[in-house]
């Protein structure tokens, strides 16, 4: 569910073809593989393992390039595949897309990669995976969800798991307050993205929403970090090439795989399968950039993933449209 998983689309996808579920598992697992790898690539760039000696690529530039390049590539692809009618949207929904793109996607992506830079991949992705719990709190507070035992237990498990994952019970684990704070802000932003975006996908094609949300994010970064500031960084051709590949690997390709997977799986199975993302991310970080992972931290990560599934899984007698 990282800053990438299209959780909103999960609940409002077209009726899946359940005759070939293995295709859905394969497509969504492939998407989570790409998302997991992207986090490790980002960390390698931030700590200088890649492009040592060149101008460092910051979380801001990585987030900006990721959104901008994806939009530039996605627009023509959608036009060729669906035609101009896909881009039709009401003024009200366009405004809402702008809010989701800036306060939701842009902020969640930026703070996620800032957490990766300041702390660890495992901490960043685990804390962000508490987003469904914040959505639950909001929905219960607004009277749109019932605080069932299952969901209440999931919230408690997620909080305990987060404490273990960030190393609260390990005196020798370095604690980065900036990293933890950034990861929390990323989870809050992602929760807002899920809450505010639900109606958008009910009224519009998921790719329409995706295009305008990402376009809004790209426009925000264009204002925050104008092109001439990028030029002043004097990035090498290899670094620009990396940014292009990173955008494809971390957003464009996995979104395509994920959306394809939703054709063959129901939303609950899709959510559970998407929990492979932090597994891949943490394994990549441990094996390729040598992040340490203690037993209690691993326990906390598993607890957060279990809570994520518990919050979103449909309970007996509950309409699927009411499930998170």
The domain ranges of the chain are 7-322
- For residue 7, name the pLDDT band (cuts at 50, 70, 90): very low
Continuous segment of H or E residues that includes residue 74: helix 59-82
Confidence (pLDDT) at 242: 94
Confidence (pLDDT) at 259: 78
Per residue in 166-218, pLDDT tens? Answer: 877 666 666 788 999 999 999 999 999 888 887 888 889 888 999 999 999 99
What is the Cα–Cα distance from 65 to 59, expressed in whole angstroms? 10
Output the pTM of the full model. 0.85
Nearest to 305 by CA among 289, 286, 281: 281
- For residue 85, name the pLDDT band (cuts at 50, 70, 90): very high
86-121 burial, b at 16+ Cβ within 10 Å, e below that, comes to eeebeeebeebbbebbbbbbbbbbbbbbbbbbbbbb
Q: What is the mean pLDDT of the chain?
A: 85
Confidence (pLDDT) at 15: 55
Q: What is the DSSP letter of 97?
A: H
What is the Cα–Cα distance from 114 to 45, expressed in whole angstroms? 12
Nearest to 320 by CA among 270, 267, 272: 267
What is the Cα–Cα distance from 49 to 47, expressed in whole angstroms? 6
- For residue 51, name the pLDDT band (cuts at 50, 70, 90): confident
162: its two tokens = 């987060």
Confidence (pLDDT) at 67: 94
What is the Cα–Cα distance from 316 to 269, expressed in whole angstroms? 15
Q: What is the DSSP letter of 320?
A: G
What is the Cα–Cα distance from 321 to 324, expressed in whole angstroms? 8
Q: Can you spell out the DSSP letters for 232-286?
A: HT---HHHHHHHHHHHIIIIIHHHHHHHHHTTTS-HHHHHHHHTHHHHHHHHHHH
Q: Specify the residue for token string 């009618």.
A: 85
What is the Cα–Cα distance from 180 to 128, expressed in whole angstroms? 10
Q: How many other C-beta atoms lie within 10 A of the C-beta of residue 48? A: 11
């Amino acid at each position: 569910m990282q800053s990438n998983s299209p959780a909103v689309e999960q609940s409002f996808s077209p009726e899946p073809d359940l005759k070939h579920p293995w295709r859905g598992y394969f497509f969504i697992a492939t998407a989570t593989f790409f998302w997991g790898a992207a986090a490790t690539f980002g960390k390698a760039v931030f700590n200088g393992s890649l492009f040592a000696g060149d101008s460092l690529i910051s979380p801001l530039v990585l987030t900006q390039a990721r959104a901008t390049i994806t939009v530039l590539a996605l627009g023509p692809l959608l036009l060729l595949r669906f035609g101009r009618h896909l881009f039709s949207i009401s003024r009200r929904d366009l405004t809402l897309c702008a809010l989701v793109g800036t306060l939701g996607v842009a902020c969640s992506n930026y703070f996620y990669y800032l957490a990766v830079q300041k702390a660890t991949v495992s901490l960043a992705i685990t804390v962000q995976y508490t987003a469904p719990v914040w959505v639950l709190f909001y929905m219960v507070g607004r009277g749109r969800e019932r605080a069932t035992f299952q969901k209440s237990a999931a919230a408690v498990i997620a909080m305990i798991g987060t404490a273990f994952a960030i190393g609260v019970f390990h005196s020798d684990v370095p604690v980065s307050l900036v990293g933890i704070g950034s990861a929390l802000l990323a989870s809050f932003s992602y929760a807002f993205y899920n809450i505010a975006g639900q109606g958008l996908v009910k009224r519009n094609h998921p790719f329409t929403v995706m295009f305008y949300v990402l376009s809004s994010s790209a426009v925000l970064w264009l204002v925050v970090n104008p092109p001439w500031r990028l030029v002043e960084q004097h990035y090498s051709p290899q670094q620009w090439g990396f940014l292009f590949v990173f955008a494809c690997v971390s957003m464009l390709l996995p979104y395509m795989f994920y959306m394809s997977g939703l054709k063959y799986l129901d939303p609950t199975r899709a959510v559970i399968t998407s929990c492979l993302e932090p597994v891949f991310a943490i394994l990549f970080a441990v094996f390729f950039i040598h992040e340490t992972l203690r037993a209690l931290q691993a326990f906390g990560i598993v607890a957060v993933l279990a809570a994520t599934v518990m919050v979103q899984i449909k309970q007996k007698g509950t309409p699927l449209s009411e499930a998170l």
